[in-house]
Structure 1
Amino acid sequence: MIRILLPALALTLATATTATAQVGPPTSQRTCGANRQLVLRDGAVVLDTSPQTYARFVRSGAECLVGQFPEPAWVPSSNNPQCFIGYRCKDSSDDF
């Protein structure tokens, strides 16, 4: 029985990890509200902010690692060039 469950569990975990890593259209192709809702709904999300740039955005400091703090983040959107989307987690050592 365990021989059957382990491969199924491994496949499920691999599929879940792959789906989480997918990035949708650039923030500039969505409205400010749609971008913000993605962050609020998921808590933490990686978004395409330009053709070569991806960043992780979070809804609050609770999604940051120990030793990190939330810093307000703005992205370009289809209806606002400076859309407040949430926060980015910064290391406290980034200030030095």
Structure 2
Amino acid sequence: MTRPATLRTGLVLGLVVLSTSAQAQRPSTVDMTCRQAQATVAQAGGIVLGTGGPTYDRFVRDRGFCEVTEIATRAIAPTRDTPQCFIGYRCKEPGRGDRFDGAF
């Protein structure tokens, strides 16, 4: 193998290892109690949390952590002690049926 090919292979393998370890370290709502998940979101303001298996989402404390054009909608996630825990909000672009509800 030539030197550039070896370098490329090493870089690709390094990126795979980094992305795998970063994903493994993501906190998950299913490992927390409902209160812990709520406190985590409240303290961080905006945070990406795993929600069981390979799924994850970004949760925010209030609309101040959303883009100017986005609204905050209630976010429910499974936690260790509650299958449907209100942990904060999700940011999303408003759709046709959405209205501003003042979630600050």
* Shared fold, TM over 0.5: yes
Residue number in structure 2 paired with 1:28: 30
* SS at structure 2 position matched to 1:52: coil
Aligned CA-pair RMSD? 2.0
C-alpha deviation, 1:51, in angstroms: 1.1
State how many pairs are aligned. 75
CA shift digits 1:44-83 (9 cap, x unpaired)? 0000002111100000000000110000000000111010
Q: Partners of 2:50 and 2:96 in 1: how far apart?
A: 22
What residue ranges of structure 2 are gaps of 5+ in the alignment? 1-22, 99-104
Q: Partners of 2:80 and 2:87 in 1: how far apart?
A: 13
Higher strand share: 1
Stretches of 4+ aligned residues off by more than 4 angstroms: 93-96
What's the % identity of the aligned pairs?
39
Q: Specify the structure having the higher radius of gyration (Cα).
A: 2
Higher helix share: 1
Q: TM-score, normalised by structure 2?
A: 0.66
Q: TM-score, normalised by structure 1?
A: 0.71
What residue ranges of structure 1 are gaps of 5+ in the alignment? 1-20
